[in-house]
Amino acid sequence: MSLTQVDIDDETLAEAMNLMGTKTKKETVNRALEEYVLRLKRIKASEELAEMGARGDFDTAEQAHWAAKKAWKAAFEEPEPGIEQTA
């Protein structure tokens, strides 16, 4: 960790400390930076997933999901009265 001197708006810092529930300026700034980095990573991941969806990368998985769901449901359905079951 490095020591950096920086001018920070006191009102904004106090509001951030209140919202985050942090006790020190250092904790507030470090948490804000961590949350910002995580936010940008989530945005990037979301954009990548959207691109994959636009390309149709999930179509096969969706079809397999619905086929498995249909097969599972059919395996546990009650037979209709009057229809003989073969084993």
Q: How many whole angstroms separate alpha carbon 32 and alpha carbon 20?
A: 9
pLDDT given at position 62: 87
3-state helix/strand/coil string of 22-81: CCCHHHHHHHHHHHHHHHHHHHHHHHHHHHHHHHCCCHHHHHHHHHHHHHHHHHCCCCCC
- Structure pTM? 0.64
- pLDDT-derived band of residue 78, with 50, 70 and 90 as boundaries? confident
pLDDT given at position 85: 61
Q: How many whole angstroms separate alpha carbon 55 and alpha carbon 48?
A: 11
pLDDT digits (tens, 9 = 90+) for 16-64: 999 999 999 999 999 999 999 999 999 999 999 999 999 998 888 889 9
